[in-house]
Amino acid sequence: MSKEESIGIVDYGGGNIRSLVKAVETLGGAPELITSPSGFEGVDRLLFPGQGAFGDCMRQLRSRRLVDPLRAWIADDRPFFGICVGYQLLFEGSEESPGEAGLGVLEGLVTRFPAGPLKVPHMGWNSAALTHPEGTFWKGLGNAPYFYFVHSYFPDPRDHAVVAATTDYGLPFASAVERGSMIATQFHPEKSQRAGMRLLANFLGAQAPA
């Protein structure tokens, strides 16, 4: 990450982004909050955090006219990092909000954990078995780093080639995807201490904290 690079964080009014802002600042960045289509101009790397229900988040994005700029950004293969609901919204839809279309960047639907002995939401630390641990985004993290999760739903990508990590919580699910310059994770790197900071540093091209 050069000093000339600009980092944008999508702020659609639907989630708490302070921890992500602080993490980027710790890595030497000065993130700009993007709240309108004009905010994408001049930004070099984009992070899209999320918190809340799938349908509510999509309605917020539409009300701020952010849907088309997000799709265009990813279609142009510009550096993009989606987090939690910001990962789920990349897909076509979700069981959480039937009839509400997602961004449709990736084929597949977001599904809920089935009823069973494990508590839902899935909350806490869990490992992510990396598909390509030698990849640029994942360097220095080993084969199965631990990250922090908080979610009741998870995407089921139709194209298994995009799956970058899988996690087991009663059943295996895709906890991360990547395609070109895009990465998205169900877990929260900004809340995942050293491993999360390493992952964010890799995305930003920054030096990870010791």
Determine whether 132 is an active site residue. Answer: no
Q: Choose the catalytic residue: 84, 122, 151, 178.
A: 84
Q: pLDDT grade, residue 9 (50/70/90)? A: very high
Cross-sheet strand order for the sheet of 7-10: 32-34, 7-10, 45-48, 80-83, 182-185, 172-179, 163-168, 129-130
Return the percentage of the chain with pLDDT > 70, whole number: 97
Model pLDDT, residue 2: 58
Return the percentage of the chain with pLDDT > 90, whole number: 90
Determine whether 84 is an active site residue. Answer: yes
Domains along the chain with CATH numbers? 7-204 (3.40.50.880)
In this predicted model, what pLDDT tens digit does every residue of 126-149 receive, in sequence order? 999 999 999 999 999 999 999 999
CA atoms within 13 A on the CB side of 179: 17
Using CA atoms, how far apart are residues 136 and 138, in angstroms rounded to an integer? Answer: 6
Mean of the per-residue pLDDT values of the chain: 95
In the block, which residue shows the tokens 């799938």? 54
Cis bond leading into 121, ω under 30°?
Answer: yes
Q: Does residue 201 surpass a pLDDT of 70?
A: yes
Q: Choose the catalytic residue: 57, 122, 178, 190.
A: 190
Model pLDDT, residue 209: 75
Determine whether 57 is an active site residue. Answer: no
In this predicted model, what pLDDT tens digit does every residue of 42-89 receive, in sequence order? 899 999 997 889 999 999 999 999 999 999 999 999 999 999 999 999
pTM of the complete model: 0.95
